[in-house]
Structure 1
Amino acid sequence: MNQVAHEINERRDSPLSNEQHWENLTADQKVALYDLNRFGYRLRFVRQTLKGPLAIVSQQDDIAVIHPDGEVDLRPKITLRPH
């Protein structure tokens, strides 16, 4: 197993708290999430990408992403694995 895969497995064994995910957001993402909270969206998790943190949020079965610049995509082409 390469080092990156090993680190991912380690991270999955100990999920971050919602507060830790919140701290990983940019200021623009926090503002966008605040606006989405009014519609029932909640922060699920944050993934670090080469372009910066990508926030995954949901409202019941609807999933959205918030890009590092605060842009919201309400129809992302992602699939979440079951927890």
Structure 2
Amino acid sequence: MDVASYQFQEQRKHCFSNLEHWDNASAEQKITLYKLHNYGYRLLFIRHTTAGPLAVISQDNDIAVIDADGALNLQHQIKLRHNPAE
């Protein structure tokens, strides 16, 4: 488990496994993430929105999102919780 995944696990009452997040992703998101995996991107979690699932991914400290249609957004407006233990 990478550091970012551990931080999110600490903030949730029920911690989803990476497999559960993967299962909640759309087919298009899975294809995009599979292509980005070679560049070091990892799935952090899936956020459920009215527009469909939003995959939040990271590469080192850079955060990106993939919308339900599989479009990658590096200029997102998503806000993540800060871990006060850091």
Aligned equivalents of 1:73, 1:56: Cα separation in 2: 10
Residue 82 of structure 1 deviates from its aligned partner by 2.7
- AA matched with 1:31: I
Residue 71 of structure 1 deviates from its aligned partner by 0.3
- AA matched with 2:26: T
Residue 81 of structure 1 deviates from its aligned partner by 1.1
Aligned equivalents of 2:32, 2:64: Cα separation in 1: 11
For 2:42, the equivalent position in structure 1 comes to: 42
In 2, are the aligned partners of 1:63 and 1:75 still within 8 Å (CA)? no
SS of the residue corresponding to residue 13 of structure 1 reads: coil
Aligned equivalents of 2:76, 2:63: Cα separation in 1: 7
Runs of 4+ in structure 1 displaced over 2 angstroms?
none
Q: TM-score, with normalisation over the residues of structure 1?
A: 0.82
The answer to whether 1:80 aligns with 2:80 is: yes
Among all aligned residue pairs of Structure 1 and Structure 2, give the percentage whose two residues are the same amino acid. 50
Q: How do 1:24-35 residues align onto structure 2 when only pairs under 5 Å count?
A: 24-35=24-35
The answer to whether 1:57 aligns with 2:57 is: yes
SS of the residue corresponding to residue 65 of structure 2 reads: strand
Structure 1 gaps of 5+ residues are: 1-11
Residue 79 of structure 1 deviates from its aligned partner by 2.2
SS of the residue corresponding to residue 77 of structure 2 reads: coil
- AA matched with 1:34: Y
Give 1 or 2 for the bigger CA radius of gyration: 1
The answer to whether 1:21 aligns with 2:13 is: no
Structure 2 gaps of 5+ residues are: 1-11
Q: Number of matched residues?
A: 73
